């Protein structure tokens, strides 16, 4: 019968904890006052837009009406989106775009980081050169690549025709089959330096003694990488992959400038499609519903990101 | 073809009929300053330089020249495809306005054609619009119908409605009320490279007479010389696409609705009519079957076709009169042998009327821009300085400036502009102006509907891209586009 006492004690314990928290808050009230402006700003610039977008997603906004005259339609926008062919096509493009861009940028970044981790003449210069794609403006990069890819007078086409390898310049961005892979190449080119920098920082944490010990034990290059280096990079790799995935899911500039989502919507990803729905077609309600879905997916990424960060922090503290 | 909601159609029919009647009546009461029935290159030459106008004196009657105020103004400005000459006139205009109204603090912002609508819509949602805006011709009705614009007619700024093209006035009219004043109006023409024609075995001095001829010529040029024949443009969200495809669509007897008829009612979607499909088929034949047009047509704008043409890699295209000046500008920037090559192309540039359809129908987009004053509640700060706003409208739509601001690429919105000495000077200095001016009577205004920007910038280019990429057949693409138009006209659609 002893548990009975415990059952009576539990609410009191909770009450004590609650009053303890309130007491703590009261004791630290000035600290809260200091962070209040920041909290208010966050509420205005983050919480309100989120609330407004969710609210707007339940309304219809025909192009002939002002936004303030919007019509309540409940969950119709969500139903319309989920039952539309375009949604699934754009979602497939987004998945391919995000996974391929993230994967290739990470792998290329890892290779570059490993190569640049060794001492050699000109390492600094090479590192600076490799960072260039990441630091130049995405808008400028998009226009440059558009010119490189141009189906009539592009640089690649001119070189290939000049070398006699083909009669006509290859069609990179004016074909529904090649446009997405072509844009992914540009995106990977722009993003791999970010992965490289993150992983180079991670490589600094790999203990030299372990690598030397592994060498003494007869481990080859691949075994040293797989059993010593890579486990030390796991946390930074997780964070890098998550950050790249979120950035790619949210990508706008490259596909919008280079193709505007075309041809025939073959390079439309969620963000460009949402932009077109909202600003080109004034379907604010549908665009808001899309944004809410995107928000939920990104929140899931965010959750894993925070988990990965706290995991690495715990590890740093030897927990 | 499917009937839309009958009530809405009848309503529109009544409005359009009333509008037409009022236009006819008013033209009887107050005659236009020029005789539109006599319109020809000879007539335009005969009236050029016959009248003097004093802009400052005219606008002083609207807003005193010593008026003190503040004005925010957004306008569709010059872009990469415009000639340097036009850039200079834009500079001169704002200098002249500031000199004429020294006490009006003017905060102007130029935006490109493709950015203006998106930015303006966004600003309006946040009540952060400018006091005055100069929009592309297809934009006005959308904003008027939503109540963003003030009623504004030429008489409010010292001019008469008859001073402007009737087609242009349609584009600022919604539900029988006027919401703006036309600044400039344009019709494009057909441009070709005589040297390319000659080398391809075509008559170098003769433009293709019909759109079917364009398809044939394009193939012949491509097959003989290995270069692109016709400068097709099919990019989405780019004004260049409807300006080049709609003349073809109308020429074949098609349309989005019945906008190419004398009294359009916009009651029935015609995008999937046999005539419209024939027009789409012509584009398909050039892009897919014959591969005789630039492959980059799906991501290109006209600005991309210009260097191709100058490099002698493109035989013909629809274009502004300003392209002659653009070519001169580009040629100056070329170096070495390229400069000589470019000169050869310029010497061989020819302009002609836009081809007709199989039944002899000739049409071109009646383009241009209009200037509007916003309702105060949508303006940043919540106030519109009315006298300052009217001063700007008066100044830009004056005979002098509506001509100068359209010097190389367009035509004056104010018909009196054709009578100025600058028009005479322009006729002497801008080659091929005659041809594009002659196209004006064939101008068809875009449908005066709030949904038009979406139809022209998204649905029509989508239709082209779906057909040209093989994503859909020509029939399917046309049916799909017609369905989308029906949906949005019914207030739905994703």
The residue extents of the domains of chain B are: 54-186+366-444, 189-362+451-489
> B-chain residues within 8 Å CB-CB of A73?
none
Inter-chain residue contact A260 with B145, CB threshold 8 Å: no
Q: Is the ipTM of this complex over 0.90?
A: no
**Does A73 have pLDDT greater than 90?**
yes
Per DSSP, the three-state class of B175 is coil
Q: Which CATH architecture has domain B54-186+366-444?
A: 3-Layer(aba) Sandwich (3.40)
Q: Are the C-beta atoms of residues A55 and A284 closer than 8 Å to each other?
A: no
**Which residue, B406, B463, B476, is CA-closest to B78?**
B406
**Which residue, A309, A121, A298, is CA-closest to A198?**
A309
Inter-chain residue contact B492 with A62, CB threshold 8 Å: yes
Inter-chain residue contact B313 with A60, CB threshold 8 Å: no
d(CA A172, CA A259): 11
pLDDT-derived band at A315 (thresholds 50, 70, 90) equals low
Beta bridge partners of B185: B368, B411
**Does B14 have pLDDT greater than 80?**
no
Walk me through the domains of chain A, giving residue ranges and CATH numbers: 77-316 (1.10.3720.10)
**Does B26 have pLDDT greater than 50?**
no
**Which residue, B76, B162, B78, is CA-closest to B119?**
B76
For residue B1, what pLDDT is reported?
43
> B-chain residues within 8 Å CB-CB of A258?
299
d(CA A183, CA B255): 35
Pick B296's closest partner by Cβ from A62, A152, A261.
Answer: A152
Which CATH superfamily groups domain B189-362+451-489?
Periplasmic binding protein-like II (3.40.190.10)
Kindly report, residue by residue over B256-302, the tens digit of the pLDDT: 999 999 888 999 999 999 999 999 999 999 999 999 999 999 988 88
Indicate the DSSP class of residue B129. Answer: B
Q: Are the C-beta atoms of residues B250 and B444 closer than 8 Å to each other?
A: yes
Region of poorest pLDDT, from A196-205, B77-86, B332-341: B77-86
Kindly report, residue by residue over A24-60, the tens digit of the pLDDT: 888 888 888 899 999 999 889 999 999 999 999 999 9
The answer to whether A150 faces chain B, any CB pair under 8 Å, is yes
Kindly report, residue by residue over A226-245, the tens digit of the pLDDT: 888 988 898 899 999 999 99
Per DSSP, the three-state class of A62 is coil
B54-186+366-444 against B189-362+451-489: fold identical: yes
Name the one residue in this structure whose structure tokens are 């029939």.
Answer: B475
d(CA B299, CA B336): 30
Q: Are the C-beta atoms of residues B372 and B153 closer than 8 Å to each other?
A: no
Indicate the DSSP class of residue B268. Answer: B
Indicate the DSSP class of residue A279. Answer: I
Inter-chain residue contact B465 with A81, CB threshold 8 Å: no
- Report CA-CA distances (Å) from B253 to A189, B248, B270, B276: 48, 9, 10, 7
d(CA B149, CA B133): 10
At B105, which helix (H) or strand (E)?
strand B104-111
Q: Which two tokens stand for residue B409?
A: 């690429």
CA dihedral angle for residue A233, residue A238, residue A243, residue A246, rounded to 10 degrees: 160
d(CA B448, CA B140): 9
Which of A45, A157, A174 would you mutate first to test chain B, the one with the most B CBs within 10 A?
A174
Region of poorest pLDDT, from A2-6, A222-226, B405-409: A2-6
**Does B108 have pLDDT greater than 50?**
yes
A92's CB contacts (< 8 A; 6+ apart) are: none
Kindly report, residue by residue over B34-51, the tens digit of the pLDDT: 888 888 888 888 999 999
B-side interface with A, Cβ within 8 Å? 118, 121-122, 125, 142, 145-148, 228, 234-238, 294-299, 304, 307-308, 311, 313, 450-451, 454, 457-458, 461-462, 465-466, 468-472, 488, 491-494
Proportion of chain B above pLDDT 90, given as a percent: 61
Question: pTM of the predicted model, to two decimals?
Answer: 0.82
d(CA B463, CA B480): 7
């Amino acid at each position: 019968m002893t548990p009975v006492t415990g059952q009576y004690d539990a609410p009191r314990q909770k009450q004590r904890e609650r009053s303890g928290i309130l007491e703590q808050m009261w004791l630290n009230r000035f600290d809260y006052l200091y962070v209040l402006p920041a909290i208010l700003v966050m509420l205005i610039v983050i919480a309100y837009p989120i609330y407004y977008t969710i609210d707007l997603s339940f309304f219809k906004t025909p192009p002939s009406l002002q936004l303030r005259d919007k019509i309540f339609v409940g969950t119709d926008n969500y139903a319309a989106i989920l039952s539309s062919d375009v949604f699934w096509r754009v979602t497939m493009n987004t998945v391919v775009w995000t996974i391929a861009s993230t994967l290739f940028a990470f792998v290329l970044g890892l290779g570059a980081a490993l190569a640049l981790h060794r001492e050699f003449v000109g390492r600094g210069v090479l590192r600076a050169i490799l960072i260039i794609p990441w630091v130049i403006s995405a808008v400028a990069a998009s226009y440059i690549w558009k010119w490189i890819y141009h189906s009539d007078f592009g640089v690649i086409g001119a070189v290939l025709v000049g070398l006699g390898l083909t009669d006509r310049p290859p069609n990179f961005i004016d074909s529904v089959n090649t446009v997405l892979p072509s844009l992914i190449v540009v995106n990977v080119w722009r993003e791999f330096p970010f992965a490289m920098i993150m992983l180079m920082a991670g490589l600094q944490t790999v203990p030299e003694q372990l690598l030397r010990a592994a060498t003494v034990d007869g481990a080859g290059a691949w075994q040293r990488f797989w059993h010593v280096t890579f486990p030390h990079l796991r946390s930074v790799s997780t964070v890098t992959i998550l950050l790249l995935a979120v950035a790619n899911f949210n990508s706008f500039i490259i596909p919008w400038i280079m193709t505007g989502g075309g041809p025939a919507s073959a390079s439309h990803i969620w963000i460009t499609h949402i932009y077109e729905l909202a600003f080109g077609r004034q379907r604010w309600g549908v665009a808001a519903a899309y944004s809410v879905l995107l928000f939920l997916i990104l929140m899931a990424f965010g959750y894993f990101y925070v988990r990965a960060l706290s995991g690495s922090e715990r590890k740093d503290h030897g927990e | 073809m499917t009937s839309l909601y009958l009530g809405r159609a009848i309503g529109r029919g009544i409005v359009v009929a009333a509008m037409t009647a009022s236009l006819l009546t008013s033209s009887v009461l107050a005659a236009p300053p020029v005789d539109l029935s006599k319109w020809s290159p000879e007539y335009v030459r005969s009236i050029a330089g016959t009248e003097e106008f004093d802009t400052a004196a005219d606008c002083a009657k609207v807003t005193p020249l010593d008026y003190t105020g503040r004005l925010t103004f957004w306008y569709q400005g010059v872009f990469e495809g415009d000639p340097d000459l036009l850039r200079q006139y834009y500079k001169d205009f704002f200098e002249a306005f500031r000199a004429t109204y020294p006490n009006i603090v003017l905060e102007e912002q130029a935006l490109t054609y493709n950015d203006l609508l998106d930015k303006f819509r966004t600003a309006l949602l946040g009540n952060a619009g400018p006091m005055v805006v100069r929009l592309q011709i297809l934009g006005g009705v959308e904003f008027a119908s939503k109540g963003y614009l003030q009623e504004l007619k030429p008489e409010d700024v010292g001019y008469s409605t008859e001073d402007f093209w009737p087609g242009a006035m349609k584009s600022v009219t919604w539900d029988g009320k006027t919401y703006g004043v036309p600044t400039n109006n344009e019709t494009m023409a057909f441009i070709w490279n005589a040297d390319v024609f000659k080398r391809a075995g075509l008559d170098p001095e003769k433009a293709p007479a019909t759109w079917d001829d364009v398809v044939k010529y394009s193939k012949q040029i491509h097959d003989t010389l290995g270069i692109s024949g016709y400068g097709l443009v099919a990019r989405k969200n780019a004004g260049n696409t409807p300006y080049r495809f709609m003349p073809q669509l109308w020429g074949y007897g098609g349309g989005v609705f019945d906008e190419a008829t004398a009294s359009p009612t916009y009651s029935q979607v015609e995008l999937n009519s046999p005539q419209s499909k024939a027009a789409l088929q012509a584009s398909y034949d050039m892009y897919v079957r014959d591969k005789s047009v630039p492959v980059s047509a799906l991501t290109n704008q006209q600005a991309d076709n210009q260097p191709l043409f100058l490099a002698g890699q493109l035989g013909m295209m629809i274009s502004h009169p300003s392209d002659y000046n653009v070519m001169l500008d580009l040629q100056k920037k070329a170096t070495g042998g390229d400069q000589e090559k470019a000169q050869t192309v310029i010497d061989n540039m020819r302009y002609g009327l836009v081809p007709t359809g199989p039944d002899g129908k000739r049409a071109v987009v009646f383009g241009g821009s209009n200037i509007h004053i916003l309702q105060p509640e949508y303006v940043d700060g919540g106030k519109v300085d009315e006298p300052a706003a009217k001063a700007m409208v008066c100044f830009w739509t004056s005979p002098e400036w509506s001509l100068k601001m359209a010097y190389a690429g367009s035509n004056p919105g104010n018909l009196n502009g054709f009578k100025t000495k600058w028009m005479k000077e322009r006729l002497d200095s801008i080659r091929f102006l005659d041809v594009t001016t002659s196209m004006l009577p064939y101008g068809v205004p875009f449908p005066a509907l709030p949904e038009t920007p979406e139809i022209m910038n998204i649905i029509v280019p989508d239709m082209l891209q779906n057909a040209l990429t093989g994503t859909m057949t020509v029939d399917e693409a046309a049916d799909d586009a017609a369905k989308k138009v029906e949906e949005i006209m019914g207030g739905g659609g994703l």
